[in-house]
Every structure is written in structure tokens, then in C-alpha cells.
Amino acid sequence: MAKYDYIAGKRRIVEILENRLEVIDSNELPSEESFTYSNSYTSWITAIFVDIRKSLDLFSNEDKVLVSKVIRSFTSEVIEIFRKSDNLREIGVRGDCVYAMFTTPSKDDILDVADMAFYANTFMTMLNELLEEHDLPSIRVGIGLSAAKDLVVKAGRKDTGINSMVWIGESATKASKLSGVGNKGGYAPIVLSSTTYSNIIDALVKGNGDIARSWFSRHYDAELGTFYGANIIKTGFNEWIQSGMKE
């Protein structure tokens, strides 16, 4: 391998440490183009993670064509559900998980992300019916959502084109952990942080009546704190699935 130039490395580190860095408190997180190596932003972010349950069993299947078809079908449409929003700031696949990060300056924006979770939850019914029709194994997922005011930093190596947004705070880390709880140990597939729940429940009650409160079950965990489980589906979508998915 090429030798690492540690002398030049020291100069780069000193430049970073001594450079003036502006932390901008913004109501709405701007697009990635607004980030530089001289700024960072704090803003309200909502993260959503969709994590396959028992993925090790799937990945260890010797039929790699089967595995490829299942994973590609799952990731394709979950990404499609998430990518339509103008508030999307990052989307990606990490192993058995699809995740997305959204700027959510208002409660309505947080509700929009929750609505994507309801679509993703309903989509899993469609996917599993289609997998069964093609003699492929069904899968289950946990869907985690977390809203928080977090720090977002552009990190990487300047002038190389190798960089990424780093989400520092509660939104991404908690959403990831909550997705690991969903559809496991008796918990519902959709799991929301208490902040997410408190920001959407009034709108759900306004649109659906007080019955909306019964859609959620409250839980507490020493690590995760208070969170809420739900198994909410999109009625029209689900009726189409149950009626045979006619195009």
C-alpha cells in the first residue's frame, strides 16, 4: 500500500482544529450543497429505519438468487416510499435496513414521515403475498421513527470528494434502536419515540377522532425511555391488497 504521509496529516488536523467553524441553528435543514467544511447545522430531524427481522436466517440461505430477489424487492419499494418527499436529506441501505433522514421543521412534517411508516407497514403485506405467490420466504420488519433537534456535520476528506453527512444526536441512533424493537418480543411493527408520538397524536386525533389514541401502546425501556408501538396501515392500500391487487 502507499505510505501514509503523517506529516501532511498533522497539518490537515491542525487546520481543522484551528479553522473557524460556524454552527448554524436553522429551522429547516438545507440541502447538502449548503454544507461546507466550515459550517454545521442544528435542526429538527426525523429519522426512519426499516429493519428486517431474523435477516441472518435469510442471508445464510444457500440459494443466493432467492436472497437477492427478496432483498431487492424489499429495498426497492421502501426506498420508493421514502424518496418522494421534498424534505428528504439522506436515504440509504445498511445491510438489512433501509433508512432515511428528513428535515422536519413542523409537526406536519413529522406526521408526513410517520405516514411513510404507515405505508411501509402496509407494503409489507403486499410484499409477503407476492413473495408467497413466487414460492419465496416471507419477511418481517421493525420500523423505527425518532424526531429530535440534532447536529448535522459534513465529514470526510476535503478536496477528495469522499464525504458524508454525519447525524449527531438522538434522531438516527434512537430510530435505529427502535427499529430493532419492532415486530419482536410482542411489540408492534411500528415503534415511535415519545417525541415523535407527541408531535403527531393531536393531528391523528383531529383527523380520525379519539380512537386514534387506541392505535398506540405505551412502553418503557431503561435504555430507550418511553416509546410507542403501533400497527397502523393505510386503509385504501390494504383494501386493494385484500381484493387481489388488480392493476
Q: What is the pLDDT of residues 140-161, one digit of tens each?
A: 999 999 999 999 998 877 767 6
Residues 6+ apart with CB under 8 A from 240: 246
Domain count, the chain: 1
- The strand pair at 141-157 and 190-193 is best described as parallel
Inside any domain, residue 77 = yes
8 A C-beta contact, residue 179 and residue 191: yes
Inside any domain, residue 78 = yes
- pTM comes to 0.91
Inside any domain, residue 13 = no
Q: In terms of C-beta density within 10 A (0-12 exposed, 13-18 middle, 19 or more buried), how is residue 39 classed?
A: middle
Percentage, residues of the chain above pLDDT 90: 64
- In the block, cell 479553522 appears at 19
Inside any domain, residue 5 = no
Inside any domain, residue 95 = yes
Inside any domain, residue 244 = no
Tell me the per-residue pLDDT of 153-192, one tens digit each, with 9 for 90 and over.
988 777 676 778 889 999 999 999 999 999 999 999 999 9
Where do runs of H (alpha helix) occur along 134-245? Answer: 170-181, 194-208, 235-242
DSSP 26-69: -SS---GGG--TTEEEEEEEEEEEEEETTHHHHHT-S-HHHHHH
CA–CA distance, 47 with 144 (Å, rounded to integer): 8
Average pLDDT, the chain: 90
Inside any domain, residue 177 = yes
- State the CATH number of the domain containing residue 206: 3.30.70.1230
Inside any domain, residue 242 = no
Structural domain harbouring 209: 21-236
